[in-house]
């Protein structure tokens, strides 16, 4: 117990700083793109001048940042940099048991994929029979003709696709049967994946092979990986939609463990 007027415990200030960061990570802050000092002070129940001083100190260290126009605060680059250094290792730890269950349920191999420039890189492959399948790990494949590539681009804008791939690139050059050759065609397939919650390909990447992928999101809701199921058409082709739903459920389970809250925000209060 702390004696009134006595010294505070060493962790007291840190806990109070974390309260501010939690306020800036709240659903309200994410929807608004930031919060002002007055609102943050209301959320944490502290004096606004004290909150303002702490936020300025955190901004000096890059832990939070202040919008020069609105003067509102949001989580800063340095905090995200620290998180990004650990997220991939955590992603692997969290995803593997979920992938095992998905693989066992479908009796097919499941891959964990990430985006690297214009390639889809497989970080981990799991089979319901042998648990680990190393043939695809570390291999890169073209983005445009794979279901994993299409869901990994869900957060991209048309301008970002233009910068990433260039305006005149034949996106299907590496995959003769690809239905995606141009940026508009890729954009259409990405939007289909957004609508359905998963993307599918049928023999676009390789003859006789079909696949389905669903997005994995981090605590901000950003797509950071894809769960992919690929198999011969004769085994998976007739149940691709069911595999897509299973992959979407599994990807949501991984996302939840990474801190992504998929629950809809509460309705706004009516003015009185």
- For the cut 90, the answer to whether the pLDDT of residue 37 exceeds it is yes
120: nearest Cα among 215, 241, 1: 215
User: For position 269, what pLDDT does the model report?
Assistant: 46
- Encoding tokens for residue 134? 């190393």
**Alpha-helical regions (H) of the chain:** 12-24, 27-32, 37-44, 48-60, 77-106, 147-152, 158-165, 183-196, 233-236, 240-257
Fold of 82-257: Beta-Lactamase (3.30.450)
- In angstroms, rounded to a whole number, what is the distance separating the alpha carbons of residues 178 and 192? 16
What percentage of the chain reaches a pLDDT higher than 90? Answer: 43
Average pLDDT over the chain, rounded to an integer: 83
- Predicted pLDDT at 7: 47
pLDDT of residue 136 exceeding 80: no
Q: Kindly report the backbone phi and psi dihedral angles of residue 220, in degrees, each rounded to the nearest multiple of 5, phi listed first.
A: -90, -10
**CATH number given to 13-75:** 1.10.10.10
Supply the pLDDT for residue 16: 81
Q: Where are the domains of the chain?
A: 13-75, 82-257
Q: In the predicted model, is pLDDT for residue 134 greater than 80?
A: no
pLDDT digits (tens, 9 = 90+) for 60-71: 988 899 988 899
pLDDT at 12 over 80: no
Which residue's entry shows tokens 């648990």?
Answer: 131
Mean pLDDT value across residues 18-26: 88
Q: Each residue of 85-128: pLDDT tens digit?
A: 666 778 888 999 999 999 999 999 999 999 888 888 888 888 86
Q: Is pLDDT at 232 greater than 80 in this prediction?
A: yes
pTM (two decimals): 0.66
| Equal fold, 13-75 vs 82-257 | no
pLDDT level of residue 263 (50, 70, 90 thresholds):
low
């Amino acid at each position: 117990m702390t004696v009134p007027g006595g010294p505070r415990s060493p962790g007291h200030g840190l806990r109070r700083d974390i309260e501010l960061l939690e306020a800036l990570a709240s659903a309200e802050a994410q929807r608004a793109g930031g919060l002002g000092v007055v609102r943050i002070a209301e959320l944490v129940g502290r004096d606004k001048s004290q909150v303002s001083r702490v936020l300025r100190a955190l901004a000096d260290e890059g832990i939070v940042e202040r919008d020069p126009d609105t003067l509102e605060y949001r989580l800063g680059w340095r905090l995200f940099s620290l998180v990004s250094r650990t997220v991939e290792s955590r992603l692997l730890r969290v995803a593997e048991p979920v992938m095992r269950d998905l693989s066992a349920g479908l009796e097919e191999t499941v891959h964990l994929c990430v985006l690297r420039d214009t390639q889809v890189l497989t970080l981990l492959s799991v089979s319901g029979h042998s648990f680990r399948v190393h043939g695809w790990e570390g291999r890169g494949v073209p983005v445009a003709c794979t279901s994993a590539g299409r869901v990994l681009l869900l957060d991209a804008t048309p301008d970002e696709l233009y910068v990433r791939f260039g305006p005149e690139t034949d996106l299907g050059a590496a995959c003769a049967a690809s239905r995606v050759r141009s940026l508009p065609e890729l954009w259409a397939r990405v939007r289909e994946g957004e609508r359905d919650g998963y993307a599918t390909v049928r023999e676009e990447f390789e003859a006789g092979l079909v696949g389905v992928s669903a997005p994995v999101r981090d605590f901000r809701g950003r797509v950071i990986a894809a769960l992919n199921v690929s198999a011969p058409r004769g085994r998976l082709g007739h149940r691709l939609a069911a595999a897509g739903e299973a992959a979407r459920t599994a990807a949501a389970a991984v996302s939840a463990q990474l801190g992504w809250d998929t629950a809809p925000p509460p309705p706004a209060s009516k003015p009185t």
